[in-house]
């Protein structure tokens, strides 16, 4: 019993290295370079647990190799999980070559199940993730118990159950610690973003007006010089470029002021259908400059609560980005419809698209995929969506396009409800009469 308990503690300590290394590597971002320390520890844990297995009964040895495989698949990448299984099979061929064929079949099945489960694992809650882990581990326990029954060693089954319980507790603790690491990292990132926004807001509030005033004067003098008759072609070109750059600088200052402006409490019922159609008509001339066709599919009678000017600014920013992502022309689809209690808006383009790395950086101050962009437009857009208590999702594929999906809470005024009820009653009467 003493040796059995010591072995359990030893294996627990081996596995508990995993979340600590995950915490260290998670600060470095994503990608294979940052996953290398965690993957190395998984290989080490796999080697130690298979080299020094726990003896439960005479000739019956078990280990915790399931845990490194699970962590690799669900907390790095499926490819990392496949690599861990290859290493596991290699170790299996070294330590017990007679069982290699059974191991190949078992882990081939496990690979397929883990691959499909990993697609929705990240979207699950913490309790759901624990349930998935336990659900995958239970068949292993059942299989081991059946082996004990076949070999008529029932008296040692209690040790097997104790080993399985410790394994599940160890796996649950590892998942908990890793999830806490991820949550802490996410909160720290939000805090860093909030600090950046606060710094930008203070900067904008203190210097934006002072910058704009001399700029207005400079622009006025340049406009006067532009009308002079004795200017050379080069001088006219220089003045034109200077005016364009001043306008661009003025636009950046406007973005700063929009970001620094405090949240306006003035909200009202807004016809989202009307705003989207208005913005689409407003952006069509801009789209025609680069041969972009704007197509709309917008349901009528969609109402939300918010500030009309902010909502209009939100969709102008998004459509402008989509148009600028199609320098060679294309189709910009704008659609809106009701889904239960939300209004779903889709803005889909056929532009250059973005990689996953660029998608993760969107909305960060000073980050933009455009050469002359500041990143403040999307930052303001995300802030408006949050103030509207909405959600957004971005799907993008390079050289294919980007789809921006927004879900906003629907608003039902008493008048809208009365109109809807009247329409329903009229429709029912028409059906009954027919």
Banded pLDDT at 346 (limits 50, 70, 90):
very high
Banded pLDDT at 420 (limits 50, 70, 90):
very low
What pLDDT does 323 receive?
Answer: 92
Banded pLDDT at 374 (limits 50, 70, 90):
low
Banded pLDDT at 349 (limits 50, 70, 90):
very high
3-class DSSP string for the chain: CHHHHHHHHHHHHHHCHHHHHHHHHHCCCCCHHHHHHHHHHHHHHHHHHHHCCEEEECCEEECCCHHHHHHHHHHCCHHHHHHHHHHHHHHHHHHCHHHHHHHHHHHHHHHHHHHHHHHHHCCCCHHHHHHHHHHHHHHHHHHHHHHHHHCCCHHHHHHHHHHHHHHHHHHHHHHHHHHHHHHHHHHHHHHHHHHHHHHHHHHHHHHHHHHHHHHHHHHHHHHHHHCCCCCCHHHHHHHHHHHHHHHHHHHHHHHHHHHHCCCCCCCEEEEHHHHHHHHHHHHHHHHHCCCEEEEEEECCCCEEEECHHHHHHHHHHHHHHHHHCCCCCEEEEEEEEEECCEEEEEEECCCCCCCHHHHHHCCCCCCCCCCCCCCHHHHHHHHHHHHCCCEEEEEEECCCEEEEEEEEECCCCHHHHHHHHHHHHHHHHHHHHC
pLDDT in tens, 132-182: 998 988 888 888 777 777 776 666 677 778 888 888 999 999 999 999 988
* Entry pTM: 0.59
Banded pLDDT at 231 (limits 50, 70, 90):
confident
With a cut of 50, say whether residue 102 has pLDDT above it.
yes
């Amino acid at each position: 019993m003493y040796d059995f308990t010591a072995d359990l503690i030893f294996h627990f300590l081996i596995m508990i290295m995993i979340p600590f290394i995950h915490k260290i590597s998670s600060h470095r971002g994503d990608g294979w370079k940052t996953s290398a320390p965690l993957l190395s520890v998984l290989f080490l844990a796999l080697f130690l647990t298979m080299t020094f297995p726990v003896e439960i009964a005479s000739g019956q040895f078990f280990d915790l190799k399931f845990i490194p495989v699970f962590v690799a698949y669900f907390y790095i990448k499926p490819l990392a999980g496949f690599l861990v299984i290859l290493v596991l099979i290699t170790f299996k061929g070294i330590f017990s070559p007679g069982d290699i064929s059974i191991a190949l079949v078992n882990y081939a099945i496990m690979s397929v199940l883990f691959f499909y489960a990993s697609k929705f694992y990240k979207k699950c809650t913490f309790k759901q993730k624990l349930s998935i882990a336990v659900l995958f581990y239970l068949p292993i326990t059942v299989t081991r118990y059946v082996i004990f029954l076949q070999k008529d060693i029932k008296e040692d089954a209690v040790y097997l159950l104790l080993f399985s319980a410790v394994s599940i507790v160890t796996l649950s603790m590892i998942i908990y610690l890793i999830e806490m690491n991820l949550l802490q990292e996410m909160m720290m990132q939000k805090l860093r973003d909030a600090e950046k926004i606060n710094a930008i807001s203070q900067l904008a509030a203190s210097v934006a007006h002072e910058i704009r005033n001399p700029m207005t004067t400079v622009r006025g003098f340049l406009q006067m010089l532009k009308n002079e008759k004795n200017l050379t072609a080069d001088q006219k070109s220089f003045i034109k470029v200077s005016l364009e750059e001043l306008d661009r600088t003025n636009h950046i200052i406007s973005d700063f002021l929009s970001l620094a402006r405090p949240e306006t409490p003035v909200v009202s019922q807004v016809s989202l259908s009307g705003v989207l159609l208005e913005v689409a008509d407003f952006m069509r001339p801009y789209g025609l400059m680069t041969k972009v066709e704007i197509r709309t599919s917008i349901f009528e009678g969609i109402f939300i609560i918010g500030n009309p000017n902010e909502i209009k600014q939100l969709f102008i920013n998004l459509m402008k980005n989509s148009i600028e992502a199609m320098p060679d022309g294309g189709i910009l689809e704008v659609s809106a419809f009701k889904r239960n209690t939300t209004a779903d808006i889709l803005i889909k383009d056929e532009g250059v698209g973005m990689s996953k790395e660029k998608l993760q950086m969107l909305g960060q101050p000073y980050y933009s995929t455009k050469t002359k962009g500041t990143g403040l437009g999307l930052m303001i857009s995300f802030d408006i969506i949050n103030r509207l208590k909405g959600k957004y999702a971005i799907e993008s594929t390079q050289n294919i396009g980007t789809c921006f999906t927004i879900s906003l809470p629907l608003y039902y005024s008493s008048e809208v409800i009365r109109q809807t009820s009247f329409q329903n009653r009229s429709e029912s009467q028409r059906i009954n009469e027919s």
